[in-house]
Structure 1
Amino acid sequence: MTAVDDRPMTTGIVKIFEDLEVPEGVKAELLRGVIVMTASPDIVHNMIVADVQDQIPRSRWSRLQTQDVDILNEASEPVPDLVVVARDLLPDSGRLLPSQLVTMVVEGVSKSSAYQDYVVKRSIYAAGRIPVYLILDPIMAQCVLLTRPEGEGEDADYLTQQITKFGDPVSLEMLGVELDTSDFGTLPDVRPHRYP
């Protein structure tokens, strides 16, 4: 008699991902069953993310950097640059934060991450019903605010998209914050991309 493993293929890749030893200076994420590794980001990227974090009031919101997020019904464990959760909803511990607790995720675009941030993660975060997805893009000097997630799996998307150039304020209504982008830097000598 032959034994058949009828578990979905994703079970195996999740186990491999969780046991993976990632070299220092490399970020690893599981995105729809694919392990994606990227180098550490540029200082410009990190300063923009830190500036956003500083503008979100800590008295009301937990602002977590590099927190793994568990996307319900997905073989995905993305690691956003910033995760915002209401302080009273934050669990006491755990590596994976359930997406249904998250109010906003923030991704800073780097030279190699535009496709992942604008296409793959947009769909993943929408599938996880994360209400607000903010893309900070120092290549195109713009913020892309995505709200109203809808749909399932790879067909999931955000129904509302607002593009704001660096220098103009971005209203983050769900957080009660008007984001000042006037100090956001840009990446020099990087070829523009075609997103969103």
Structure 2
Amino acid sequence: MVPGRTMAVSRDGQGGEMTAMYPEYAQWLRQVRSSMKLPKAVKLLFDQGRLYMSPVTEAHSEADDSIRLQLAEQLGGESGLHVTRDKGVLPEMDGYMPEPDVLVVDAGALGPGDAFVDQKHVHFVAESVSRSTVGQDYGRKLNQYAARGIATYLIVDVLTGECVLYQAPKGDEYTSAVPYRFGEEIGFSLAGVPVTVRTDFKKIC
């Protein structure tokens, strides 16, 4: 594998459109998957020569689904926005391409077969923190999303029972960071459309 390349392996281990986009890695990904007996509840992330294994717990799944459904309900109709999940954000930056747990993008930016979206179409991303990815979510991903000009980044930390809403990106940092405890309601706007997110999520004890 080329140092600096970030690759995600789907739960079936094939990588989907990722291997089509980077065919030189298709065989390598198959070899990795075949040599590791992994449960379906584990997501793999290869980043700069490191392998991250992130468990997809019930708390993570419920939080991601809740955010996606809440935003989809509020942004339906004529908002011009679409809610999705687990899409790669292009282009690569410093050899890295993030895949947020939840995204809000311009309507029409994704076709039925698309697994990637251009950063210029992304208005919102959310990440659910795992023990193996906490440094990425509060560090590299935060800097990446700000540098890409993504207006709003929501971290859901099921380890601490807190959320942080980052907004107003400038350079590779967000100039606004507001913490919330689980159970509080978060209000903000996406492309001029006001939305709220209820944070009645579960904490991992």
Same fold (TM over 0.5): yes
Q: Report how far residue 168 of structure 1 moved.
A: 1.0
Matched, 1:157 2:173: yes
**1:179 aligned to 2:197?**
yes
Q: What secondary structure is seen at the aligned counterpart in 2 of 1:83?
A: strand
Question: In 1, are the aligned partners of 2:186 and 2:196 still within 8 Å (CA)?
Answer: yes
Of 58, 68, 82, which aligns to 1:43? 58
Distance 1:11 1:55, change over 3 A: closer
Query: In structure 2, the residue corresponding to 1:56 is in which secondary structure?
Result: helix
1:109 maps to 129
Residue pairs, 1:113-192, within 5 angstroms: 113-151=133-171, 156-174=172-190, 175-181=193-199, 183-188=200-205
What SS class does the counterpart of residue 143 from structure 1 fall into? strand
Partners of 1:90 and 1:36 in 2: CA distance: 29
Match of 1:4 in 2: none
User: Structure 2 length as normaliser, TM-score?
Assistant: 0.73
Shift of 1:74: 3.2
Matched, 1:82 2:102: yes
What is the one-letter code of the residue matched to 1:186? K
User: Cα RMSD between the aligned structures?
Assistant: 2.8
CA-CA distance at 1:89 after TM superposition = 3.4
Between the two proteins, the alignment pairs up a number of residues equal to 175
Residues 54, 95 of structure 1: CA spacing in aligned structure 2 closer, same or farther, 3 A cutoff? closer
Cα distance in 2, alignment partners of residues 45 and 77 from structure 1: 21
What letter corresponds to residue 137 of structure 1 in structure 2? D
Alignment of 1:56-71 (within 5 A): 56-57=71-72, 59=76, 60=79, 61-71=81-91
Please report how far the alpha carbon of residue 47 of structure 1 lies from its aligned counterpart in structure 2 after TM superposition: 0.3
**Match of 2:120?**
100
In structure 2, do the counterparts of structure 1 residues 77 and 131 end up closer, same or farther at CA, with 3 Å as the change threshold? same
* Paired-residue identity, %: 25
TM-fit CA distance, 1:35:
5.2
Aligned equivalents of 1:77, 1:139: Cα separation in 2: 25
Post-superposition offset of 1:27 = 2.9
Instruction: Give how far 1:115 is off.
Output: 0.7
Aligned 1:25-36 pairs, distance under 5 A: 25=40, 26-29=42-45, 31=47, 33-34=48-49, 36=51
Judge conservation of contact 2:43–2:56 (CA < 8 Å) in 1: no
What's the secondary structure of 2:145's corresponding residue?
A: helix
Q: 1:53 aligns with which of 68, 74, 81?
A: 68
- CA separation of 1:143/1:129 partners in 2, compared to 1, >3 Å: closer, same or farther? same
User: Normalization by structure 1: what TM-score?
Assistant: 0.76
